[in-house]
Amino acid sequence: MAGELSPIDKAKFVAAKRAADMVEDGMRVGLGTGSTAAWLVRCLGEMVREDGLKIKGVPTSTRTAELAREVGIEVISLDEARWLDITIDGADEFDGDLNLIKGGGGALLQEKIVATASDQMVVIADVGKEVETLGAFPLPVEVIPFGWQTTKALIEETLISMDVLGRQTSLRMNGEVPFMTDEGNHIIDLHLSRIGNARQLAMVLNQMPGVVENGLFIDICDVVVVGYGDGRVELRDINAGTIEEDRLDFVEEDNLFTDLMD
């Protein structure tokens, strides 16, 4: 129940709830991956069941697809949709220019493809994800399994000339074996502490053989919906240069708070 949620979960919920109100009947909607995006999928599912909202969802991961189907959202592929009206997703970090680090859940490739195939990308996040400078959260880089150690070494060598504070890298693991993305790739996490020039770093990383994509989302996000633990919400529109403030009340009996999987 809402009253039993932690302040962070309350913040995630109100951000998701506010973003769900941006979805209109007939839209093709990109559905993000992660704990905050899961709240969004639940909210949209309730609107489909209770209000008759008719949308088509394009998930950014297999687990999001499973949750969307579970709550009653029609799921289609990006190839079927071709173009989306809106994508709503979480972020691991965002700065004042709405540049992001994403990929903590391992779905950065599909997330970036879906986000860039949308008229609008909306990020939902608790206020703790806001940073002055990107980089405290490890930057995920998706690489093909073939020669991944060589790719990792090339990344480390390149970081020497980049404006970053740290240069440690690590292969993401899933227990005793390397983590595998939905596309069968590995992820190398870059522990940079601070990224001085995110745009340059993103371009350089993607020029390396073996690198599929990186978790820097530059000039992709249009709006960020920031949630607070007391129910306050801020909607920041980078294009309009506006900030809207709102407050959402919690509903104790809301079934969104049962059996939510992160």
The model's pTM is: 0.94
User: CA-to-CA distance for 95 and 109, rounded, in angstroms?
Assistant: 20
Establish whether 93 is a catalytic residue: no
Candidates 46, 66, 93, 111; catalytic one: 111
182 is in an annotated binding site: no
Residue pLDDT, tens place only, 94-151: 999 999 999 999 999 999 999 999 999 999 999 999 999 999 999 999 999 999 999 9
- Is it the case that residue 156 has pLDDT exceeding 50? yes
Confidence bin at 4 (pLDDT 50/70/90) = confident
- Tell me how far apart the alpha carbons of residues 88 and 122 are, in angstroms, rounded to a whole number: 5
Least confident of 66-75, 231-240, 250-259: 250-259
Which pLDDT value is given to residue 37? 97
How high is the pLDDT of residue 160? 97
Determine the Cα–Cα distance for residues 81 and 42; give it in Å rounded to an integer: 21
184 belongs to an annotated ligand binding site: no
Q: Which pLDDT value is given to residue 262?
A: 38
pLDDT at 249: 79
Whether pLDDT at 25 is above 70? yes
Q: Give the start-end residues of each E strand in the chain.
A: 28-31, 56-59, 74-75, 86-89, 93-94, 100-101, 121-126, 139-143, 168-171, 173-174, 177-178, 186-191, 211-214, 216-217, 223-227, 232-237, 242-247
217 pLDDT above the threshold of 50: yes
What does the pLDDT look like over 31-74, one tens digit per residue? 999 999 999 999 999 999 999 999 999 999 999 999 999 999 99
- Confidence check: pLDDT of 256 > 80: no
Distance CA 100, CA 216 (A): 6
- Ligand-binding site membership of 103 (annotated): yes
Task: Output the CA torsion sign for 199, 223, 5, 46.
Answer: negative
Q: To the nearest whole percent, how much of the chain has pLDDT over 90?
A: 92
Q: Is 92 annotated as a binding residue?
A: yes
Residue 255 pLDDT: 56
89 is in an annotated binding site: yes
Domains and CATH numbers, the chain: 2-130+219-257 (3.40.50.1360), 139-215 (3.30.70.260)
